[in-house]
Amino acid sequence: MDQELMQPYIDSVNEVLQMMVGVKVLSHSVTPVEKSEIMSYGVASIMTFSGGIFSGRVVLDLPPEVALKIANLLLGEQFSTTRERMVLASISELNNTIGGSANTVINNSTGIGLRLAPPYVLTGDKLVFASTKAKSVGIMFKTNIGFFRMYLTLKGVD
């Protein structure tokens, strides 16, 4: 995957987490997704986008304890389960803000015109994502409140 298209998502995660919840990204690593099925950590927000010849998706995949910490910090409340509506809404908004910020950078630099669809959030013990034929990368983020992954898939990109 082209670094020029991937880097805005990495930068956006760093900026949005710091701005919205005061969470600092300590490190990240990028690996190609080789498997056709991916087991989720337990809370996943999926957002699709398209524009011109490109389409894709961003999946934020978080362990439940990290999702709860983010919701607690974002809303200033204490939540005990990821099944609470406001916890899921918090993760959805986080993904929407990350994707919107990254796509704005890409649109401004390339003129592609990527547009976001509203994200949705899933939670459960044994969530499995099936990979499409499009190339995906997994980006592991380590933060001061725990780790999570982002899966980035871009179609129309070699």
Is residue 68 pLDDT above 90, yes or no?
yes
- What local confidence, expressed as pLDDT, does residue 4 receive? 77
Q: Is 108 left (phi over 0), alpha (psi -120 to 50) or beta?
A: alpha
Structure tokens at 106: 């890409």
Q: How far apart are CA 10 and CA 114, in angstroms?
A: 17
Distance of CA 9 to the CA centre of its chain: 8
- Structurally, how many domains does the chain consist of? 1
* Predicted TM-score (pTM) above 0.85: yes
**Which residue would you say has higher pLDDT here, 43 or 111?**
43
Task: Name the pairing type of β-strands 37-39 and 128-130.
Answer: antiparallel
CATH number assigned to the domain comprising residue 7? 3.40.1550.10
The residue segments making up the domain with residue 110 are 3-155
End-to-end CA distance of the chain: 7
**Per-residue pLDDT tens over the stretch 103-126:** 999 999 888 889 999 999 999 988
Question: At 57, is the secondary structure helix, strand, or coil?
Answer: strand
